[in-house]
Structure formats: structure tokens, C-alpha cells
Structure 1
Amino acid sequence: MNSLERSKVYEQVVGKVSRRFETYGYSKVRTPAFEAYDLYSGIDSSIPRREMIKVIDPTGDVLVLRPDVTIPITKELSHVYGRLTSERRYYYIQEVFRQTGTDLSPIEHTQAGIEFFGCRSPEADAETIALAVRTLKDLQFEEIKIEIGYPALLDSMIQQMNMDKRQNMQLRQLILSKNLAELQGLLREAKIDRQLAAAVETITQVYGRPDLVAAEMASLGVNSFMDGIVEYILEVCRLLEIYDCKEEIILDFSLLNNMDYYSGLIFQGYVEGLGRPVVMGGRYDKLSEAFAADLPAIGFAIEIEPIVESIASTMTAVPDSRSICIFYSDAELEEAIVLAEQFREQHYRVVTSPLQNQEKNDSYAYTVLLQQEGNVILTNEESHRYLTVAEVGMFFEREA
């Protein structure tokens, strides 16, 4: 599939994502392409400063090309409201820019995401995760897995260990990779309390269905803080069953923050054919505190490019169901123009072309032949013959 055809897939994906977000009450917003460097350098996030694309404006101030969307939306809402008395739902589809990996890595990536402000509850978390699942289903993915975690649980345990910076970083890497053998060695080396070490080892290996994971977690009996988190997550999972998302949900309490501003539940989504997450999300109730506000929030972002590549590599060309090509003889040029304009007002996608150019064209759902011996409509299933242009118009009014 060439780049032009891939662009069509991109627009289809973006259209489906937008429509799904809007069914959940989200309104589209845009953030500036350039923001002050201080906005990102002064916020805890996982965006390394070396990855930001920096420029100098005419006044000498340092700007960055948008590396994130959640932070500027939160800043704007914080300055407007300070504290919300009602919910606010926004979505975006726009580019973020980061210089990652090798010099050949693309710096521009399209993200589609939602930000749900003003509600801190299992209901809000379940609805947000359900929206992520629905969106991926709209894109025709059949194998969808959403991993849910709660990093604050492991963070609280790690803080109790009083490890040095090197050990702390190594511990987190071993947890993320689920490397139990080296993890046990590190915990012994650091002389961590046996019960605490056993709990971390177990949490690192617990992964699967909510009921089974909850049973494993209950057996640890570490503290009431852990019990409260498990109860919260199980309530989110119970609500997700009502959304008919039970089969897509996996619990993994070894998940750690991929963005430092996440402060509660986090999740990531996988689909068939792609070995890395295409959805990343979580709760970031404390991010607004950096702007002197109190705005509890949860959101997620979908990486559009890998989804487009996956769909483009497997899809077969399917004509737009509201597309028409009108072929006309010289005598019917005027009628072709009038008819095309009529269909366009009904929101059909229409092109016109001389009759001698007629060929089988799978990119249109309907082909109209305007010729002296009668007007013919061809579809994939059947052919219709009409005597007048008015009757052709009536056909498409019925189809609409």
C-alpha cells in the first residue's frame, strides 16, 4: 500500500476515533504547537529534556514543539477554573514531537486522546477504560487486552526499603522485566525485610484475570493500604463487566508509571499484530497542583501510526458506501454536473468523468452511466436502468 492509500486509511481511523469519543460526550480541542520550555521542564513527567525539540523565539525565549498534550490542557483548565464544580471532557487528535532513539527515528507522532476532568471514582475509571476498548473495537481489532495496574502500591513498598538511587533504579527495571531470579538476589543484597521482599516478589509475578489476581493479593496481607487498592481495582473491573469488557481486562500490579504525573490507576492496551502498547493511560489527579489548582482527572492516548500501519497491511480495498462515479457522454455533460451537485448536497462523495474513461473501478460503491439510450446505475450486487435523471436522483434519495 502506497503513501496515498495509507493516507486514506489514516483519515478513516481518525474519523472512527473521533466519532467514538464524541459518543461519550467529549468535545474536540487543540493545543498550541509551540509551548514555553519551562512548562515541561518544571513538571514531573517522563519526557527527557533531550527528547524535546527546542527553538528560540524572536524575544530569545526557549520554546518546545509540543511533546505532550495532557500537560497544556491541564494548565489551561487550571488557569480558567482552579477547582471544578462539574465534569469536563475533552479529546484531541494532533501531533506530538519527540526526538527518541536513533537520528532516523521519526520525531512526529499522531496521538488521539481524551481527558476526563472533575471526577475521581471507580465509575469514571471504568468508563474511560471502556471507551478505550470500544475505540479499538471500532477499528476492527478482535484481540484486545487492557492491562490495569496501580503503581502507588509498589511505590509505597519501595519507599519502605530505603534503597540507594542505583538499587532503586535496578529494582524498578527488574520488576518491569519480571526478572524474579535477579530481583530476589537484589532484595537479599539490600537486606530487605523478609515479608516485604516476599510481597514484592509475588506482586511482580501476579498477572491475569481480576478474580485470580485478587485472591493472590489477598494472601499477602501486607497492609490496609494494599487492601484498599485491591478493592478499588476490583470495583473498576466489576463495572467493566457491565460495559461488556470482561474478556479484555488483565490485572498486573507490577506495572509502573510510564508518565511521572500519573498518581493512581494506570492502564495500557494491546492489539493483535503489534508487540507494544497502542493505548497508554491513567489517573493524574495531582498534575493540576503544579498550576495551583485541584482538578482530578483521568485520560489516555492512542498511538495512531502503528494502528494505521497494522490496518493498512491487512486490509483489502473497500469502497466508501456513499461514493459515486458519474460517467457521461458529451450530450449529458450538463446533466452530469447538475446530478453530481444534487448528490453532493446529500453528502455523497462524487466524481464525474467522460464516458470513454469508463473502466471497472472498485473505489466507488456506485457507478452512474449517463447515456442517450438510458441512465444506468451499477452497484456491486446489481444493475438498475432509469429513463430520466430525476429517477436516478430518487434512487439515491432512497439509499440515503
Structure 2
Amino acid sequence: MKVFTFDTMKANNQDFQSRKQLLSLMQRRFSLFGYEHVHTSVFEPYELYSQVAGTIAQDDMIKVIDPSGKVLVLRPDATIPVTKEVAKHYHGTAGHIRYFYMMDVFRQSFDGTGSKEKTQAGVECFGEKSAAIDGEVIALAVETLQDMKTPNFKIEVGHANFFKQLLTQLPINDTALKQLKTYIQAKNMTEIAPFLTSQDVPPYLVEKISQIPLLYGEPKTVMERAQNIILNDTMRKELDGLWEVYEVLCTYGVSEQIVFDLGLINHMNYYSGIIFQGFVDQVAKPVLMGGRYDQLAAAFGNTVPAVGFAIDAESLLEEAKIDITADLPGDITIIYETNKLSKALKLAGKLRNAGWRVITAEAVEQMPINSKQIIQLEASSSTWICGEQVVPFTTIEELEKLIVETVKKN
């Protein structure tokens, strides 16, 4: 039997609070870009996912049987059910539909830790296909990670159709294609050419596909190298479109966080255009994945252009160990002497109504204080303390001014 100690419970609570703050920051950023919160059922019909080819493997889904004998699955993906609902009601003159979600998703094989539940936060923008919209969504991804104070992150941008155009030229079966993708994803240049030659692939294609791992890095350099492997007008058009998106990102001022990767592979086959992944220091796998999926709504009887991304909240918190709570200015502790109880409670109530998180505590020796801001109410004076600043105040209005000025500086 697992025993929970006080220290374990305290650590778990700190993780929960950090996760809550993380999601709150994401929600604020998504809302600033005009997205509205949406939620879907935890239990979905098995057919919802099985009817969309190339998405969630059957063995990865967690299945249950309801009392009527119908097979249900715990929601393994957020994009598919959101797209289904949009497809059901969307019409061509609806304009942009912008949704964000923060939901748990469930799969059998997330990683080697045995965890079957992960929290995803993401956005889905429906209704328009353009470089401006693609650039806006990627810029939103960048700004969201910036809000997290994420160190040294990069967004790798590729194009699903550019890569698929190359693969359609290969005379190999699905098993060999899967192996080739593994080599390309690992950027294993020493294995690609011999493998393709063993599959009787024409030498000119071997040469072009062997260059794919080199198509990674600074966008302009990648674009120049990519000219050497273009096979048709479709590939040239996709490259031109990718560069248009990059120009939008330059306008947003986020180009320093962008690298191109034309060998980027996403195992969700519903992506049909631009694709991207976000990586941060200390985390080997992507913490953010997204792209354009204009054909997904067709599985539900409609045509709806769409682009979006999802963030793995656990990867940011558990693996990168990012301290979200420490960067927020909203915690205040009021320390009061016994005869100041009434004043302390009235002050706490007013600050809470103004949106602050306030803890009140009677002054005792050796009491641990975790707040960035402390208000001391003593018999003869009232003092506000923030870091090395110690400022006396006489009215609540003076105190509020001190707090607001501190927030602006931070």
C-alpha cells in the first residue's frame, strides 16, 4: 500500500498549483487571440476515431463497454471530436471559428512511465486557408511558450505535402516506407541511401531523398537547399507557401524561434499542409505539435479548412521543471498582530475582490512565508514588504498603489 507523507502531499499540491497556473497563462494567451473555450465528452464512440484513417492506433485506445453493449473509448485526441462538431454545423459563410481546449486525453502508450492520462491544451482555427492564418497560429504557439518563461525553445516548421510528394514517387511497400520514415526522422544519413538502393529505387530519387536530413536549420538556407530536390510544380508551390508563412512570422517578430525541417514527420496522417513542433531544453520529445488539416472534416461530411496545435502540459511541468508559480505576482500574505484581526480580514477581502490571492496569518515566531509580497499589520504601524523594499502605508489606497506599481515593474 502506498503511504502519503505530509511532504509527499505538499509536493503534489505544489505540482497541482503550478499546473493550474500554467493552464491559466495559456487560457489568457489563447483568449487574447480571440479563441473561445470548448470542451468535449470524455467518453466517445469508438467509431469516431476508427473512421478517420491514420490517426490513433486501435491498440492505443482505452476501450469500455456501456450497459447497452456499445464500445466507447476514453478520449484519445482532442482535434478529432472538436472537428466533428464544427463540421456538423459549419457553412461556407461562417467565417473564422476559433476554439481552444484544455482537456485530458487517454492512451495506452504515451511513454514508458505507464501514464495513460495527459493534459492537452491547444487551439483550432477553422474557416480559412492562408499564410496569414498559418503564421498567426504559429506566432500564438511562440507567444504561449514565451508566457511560460520557457528557456531556449524552438519551433520546427515543415510541410506535410512537400514530404509526401517525394514519397509518392517511391516504388516501395508500406513496410519499407515505414522503415524509411524511421531513418529520416532520426536523420540517419548513413542508412538512407543503402536502404533505398536495396529497394530498387532509381538513383536520382536516392540522391534527392538522401538530402532530406540536410533540410534542417535556418529558413533561408533550407529553402536554397530544397530547390535541388523539387520534382514537380506542387512541391515548388508548397515551398513558396511555406516561405510566405515565414514572412508572416518575421512580421510578428518571432523569427528567432523558428527553424525549418522539411523532413519533419507527424504520425497523425490528417495533416495536409504546414506542420510544426516545439522543443524546449531538457525535454527530448516535442512539447507542442500542430499543423494544417484541411481534409479532416471530410470524414464527417463537410469541407472546413483548419489549422491548430496542442501542448503537452505534463512535459512542460514534469520534465522541464518550469516553475510557473514563482513568476506570478498574485500571492500576498497578511501578517497581523492579534488586535489587528479585524483590519486584516477587511483588507484581505478587498484585495481578493480586486483579484489577488491572499493568505492571512497571525504573527508567530518562525512562521514560513512563501509569498513575494507581505503586509505586516502591527499595533503601531502597517508595512508592505516586497523583496528588499519595505514601505510603510496608512490607507488601503496607498497599499493598492504600491502593489500595482510592483506588478508593472515585474
Fold in common (TM above 0.5): yes
Q: 2:407: which partner in 1?
A: none
- TM alignment of 1:167-206, pairs within 5 A: 167-206=176-215
Q: Answer yes or no: is the 8 Å Cα contact 1:320–1:365 preserved in 2.
A: no
Number of residue equivalences: 394
Displacement of 1:142 after TM fit? Answer: 3.3
Contact 1:149–1:267 (CA<8 Å) still a contact in 2? yes
Cα distance, 1:382 vs structure 2: 3.1
Cα deviation code 1:260-285 (max 9, x no counterpart): 11111111111112111111001000
For residues 92-103 of structure 1, the aligned pairs below 5 Å read 92-100=101-109
Q: Are 2:353 and 1:350 equivalent residues in the alignment?
A: no
1:142 and 2:142 correspond: no
Question: Is the CA contact 1:262–1:283 (under 8 Å) kept in the aligned structure 2?
Answer: yes
What is the alpha-carbon distance in structure 2 between the residues aligned to residue 44 and residue 27 of structure 1?
Answer: 28
Listed one character per residue, the Cα deviations across residues 153-197 of structure 1 (whole Å, up to 9, x for unaligned) are 232222222312322222222222222232212222222222222
Q: Does the C-alpha gap of structure 1 residues 83 and 63 become closer, same or farther in structure 2, counting only changes over 3 Å?
A: farther
* Equivalent AA in structure 2 for residue 393 of structure 1: I
The residue identity in structure 2 corresponding to 1:212 is: T
**Any idea what SS the aligned residue of 2:304 has?**
coil
Change beyond 3 A, Cα 1:272–1:103: closer
Equivalent AA in structure 1 for residue 162 of structure 2: L
Q: Please tell me the residue identity of whatever aligns with 1:50.
A: D
229 and 325 in structure 1: CA distance in 2 versus 1, 3 angstrom threshold: same
Question: Aligned residue for 1:219?
Answer: 228
Flag the 1:95–1:372 CA change in 2: closer, same or farther, 3 A: same
| Aligned counterparts of 1:341 and 1:20: Cα–Cα separation in 2 | 28
Q: In structure 1, list runs of 5 or more residues that go unmatched.
A: none
Percent identity over paired residues? 35
Aligned counterpart for 2:379 among listed residues 372, 376, 390:
372
Contact 1:67 1:96 in 2 (8 A): yes
Aligned partners of 1:91 and 1:113 also within 8 Å: yes
1:397 aligns with 2:404: no
Please tell me the residue identity of whatever aligns with 1:394: E
Q: CA–CA distance in 1 between the matches of 2:228 and 2:14?
A: 54
CA shift for structure 1 position 249: 1.5
Q: Distance in 1 between matches of 2:26 and 2:353?
A: 25
Where 2:285 maps in the other structure, the secondary structure is coil
TM-score (norm 1): 0.92
Partner of 1:326: 334
1:203 Cα deviation after fit: 2.3
Instruction: Confirm or deny that 1:234 pairs with 2:243.
Output: yes
**After alignment, is 81-90 or 267-276 more displaced?**
81-90
Q: Equivalents in 1 of 2:316, 2:266: separation in Å? A: 23
Deviates more, 1:339-348 or 1:314-323: 314-323
Query: Which residues of 2 match residues 270-349 of structure 1 at below 5 A?
Result: 270-310=279-319, 312=321, 315=323, 318=326, 320-349=328-357
Q: Residue 240 of structure 1 aligns to a residue in which SS?
A: helix
Match for 1:37: what amino acid?
Y
| Distance of aligned partners of 1:85 and 1:373 in 2 relative to their CA distance in 1, 3 Å threshold | closer
Distance, in Å, in 2 between the alignment partners of 1:196 and 1:331 is 84
The TM-score with structure 2 as length reference comes to 0.89
